[in-house]
Amino acid sequence: MTAPAAHAAPRIPAPPSAPADALVRLHLSESPYGPSPHALAAAHRAVDDTGTYPDPARTAPAQAVAELLGVRPDQVAVANGSDELVLLTALCLGDRQRPGVTTADTFPGYRICLENVGRGCREVPVDGIDALADAFDDAGVAYVCHPHNPTGGVLDRAAFDLLVERAAATGTPLVVDEAYLDFAPPGTPQVPDYLGTGAPVLGLRTFSKAHGLAGLRVGYAVGRADLVGRLRAVQGSMPFSVNRAAQAAAVAALADRGHLERVRRGNADARERFRADLAARGRRALPSVTNFLAVPVPDAARAERLLERDHGILVRDAGRFGLHGHLRVSVGKAADLARLLDALDIVAPVTGPGPGPALPTAATAQERP
Ligand SMILES: Cc1ncc(COP(=O)(O)O)c(C=O)c1O
């Protein structure tokens, strides 16, 4: 695909510049690299036409995704961020009389959506992927976050194989949240690898992270066509949920492989520098393939509070997700991470020999940083 021509129409006035004391945002795994300039230009062009509805079939982004992944367009559903897809999957996949299942220390969206649609959610301990595989028998739908939020780890091929086999054997759809897959090394197992098996699997992806388009709200599901068809049918109740700017930006972002590659490399370098800086101060972060690190601190809720109140830095207490004693910190700009490191030494000083290695979880035990 060719790069879009420069935008000729009058530009939208820039928002007022952020105040000098604006909060440092290291809590939502946002991209410090911003979007592809082509994606931004495409979004600007799209908002020139605000009087007509966007394409309810989301044809252009669905086709772009399908071409990129080598799947059919009917295996792709484009949505208003992966948040919408998590809700859609909870609403319509699998046996609705049965609760969903996921792991205990994970992104809370699965549990929240399953509870909100009245299905309920069972959380299995994360001391081995076998517990999740065993739970497929009684579950209506299963969720796994891979790469894992908040630890940053990934499933290895054997674990992924096992989950897909259980999905095939039980008929329970397996939803793999691949929000951070763009950051993972080549060869990391992923849903498109398994579409040929015929197993009921669905991967959820987002433009909010590596593509830097969190504010536009766009993501997609890729999976077995009948599962995708169900999502699309429910999307009929909100046919215009992906606006023009988001659809146009998604297409242009997918075409700009160079930008994505620069983000990937920049993130990997910055992440390992941040890890080394933490280690130099006696802090051992969990291995991660993503754009965040889980950093052990004794009282993460307190550290989160004090970092915001006294230092203007936003981070996430990973205890909110069940990973107690850790802060999840985005790999943000170097200056922001330097500020965080100094602030952390004040609010949660390392005492003695340092916190030492954190125990691996099912996800972190198998990761390849
Ligand atoms: C694991 C995971 N899944 C889904 C989402 C939601 O992403 P989106 O912005 O596409 O709705 C997030 C956002 O942080 C996430 O961490």
Using one digit for the tens of pLDDT, what is the confidence trace for 100-116? 999 998 999 999 999 99
pLDDT of residue 21: 62
> Per-residue pLDDT for 212 more than 70?
yes
Q: Does the pLDDT value for residue 19 go beyond 80?
A: no
pLDDT category at 364 given cuts 50, 70, 90 is very low
Nearest to 252 by CA among 68, 74, 75, 77: 68
Greater model confidence, 219 or 363: 219
Decide which of 360 and 254 is more confident. Answer: 254
Is it the case that residue 365 has pLDDT exceeding 90? no
Confidence of residue 128 (pLDDT cuts 50, 70, 90): confident
Nearest protein CA to atom 14 of ligand 1, as residue: 28
Give the phi and the psi of residue 177 in degrees, each rounded to 5: -85, 105
Could you tell me if the CB of 81 is within 6 A of ligand 1? yes
Percent of the chain with pLDDT over 70: 89
Residue 183 DSSP symbol: G
Q: How confident is the model over 270-280, as pLDDT tens digits?
A: 999 999 999 99
What distance in angstroms lies between residue 45's CA and the mean position of ligand 1's atoms?
A: 26
**pLDDT tens-digit map of 306-363:** 999 999 999 999 999 999 999 999 999 999 999 999 999 999 999 865 444 443 333 4
Confidence of residue 301 (pLDDT cuts 50, 70, 90): very high
232 versus 358: which is more confidently predicted?
Answer: 232
Ligand 1 close to Cβ of residue 89 (< 6 A): no
As a whole number of Å, the end-to-end CA separation of the chain is: 32
Contacts of 205 (CB under 8 A, 6+ apart): 82, 178, 179, 181, 182, 219, 220, 221, 222
pLDDT at 44 over 70: yes
Query: Which residue is listed with tokens 């695909």?
Result: 1
pLDDT of residue 309: 97
What mean pLDDT is reported for the chain?
91
pLDDT of 139 over the 90 cut: yes
206 C-beta closer than 6 A to ligand 1:
yes
Can you give the pLDDT at residue 289? Answer: 98
Question: Which domains are seen in the chain, by residue range?
Answer: 24-33+257-348+362-366 (3.90.1150.10), 37-255 (3.40.640.10)
- Is the pLDDT assigned to residue 267 strictly greater than 80? yes
Concatenate the DSSP letters of all residues of 229-268 into one string.
HHHHHHHTTSTT-S-HHHHHHHHHHHH-HHHHHHHHHHHH
Atom of ligand 1 nearest to the CA of 209: 9
138 C-alpha to ligand 1 centroid (Å)? 26
Ligand 1 centroid–CA 82 distance in Å is: 6
What pLDDT is stored for residue 22 in this prediction? Answer: 87
Instruction: Give the pLDDT confidence score for residue 72 in this predicted structure.
Output: 97
- Give the per-residue pLDDT at 228: 98
Q: What tokens does 131 get?
A: 């517990």
Residue 299 has pLDDT above 80, yes or no: yes
Q: Is the pLDDT of residue 3 over 50?
A: no
Pocket probe mutation, ligand 1, options 82, 180, 321, max atoms within 8 Å of Cβ:
82
Alpha helix ranges (H) inside 117-240:
129-134, 157-170, 225-235
Residue 8 has pLDDT above 50, yes or no: no
How far is ligand 1, taken at its centre, from the CA of residue 206, in Å?
Answer: 7
What 272-280 contacts at long range (C-beta under 8 Å, 24+ apart), as own/partner pairs, is 273/334, 274/329, 274/331, 274/337, 277/337, 277/338, 277/341, 278/341
pLDDT value at 10 more than 50: no
**Ligand 1 atom closest to Cα of 219?**
10
> Helix, strand or coil for residue 27?
coil
* Contact between 295 and 283 (Cβ < 8 Å): yes
Among protein residues, the one with the nearest Cα to ligand 1's atom 2 is 179
Instruction: Name the closest-CA residue to atom 16, ligand 1.
Output: 149
**Token digits for 21?**
């004391």
Residue 87 DSSP label: H
Atom of ligand 1 nearest to the CA of 29: 14
Between 127 and 68, whose confidence is greater?
Answer: 68
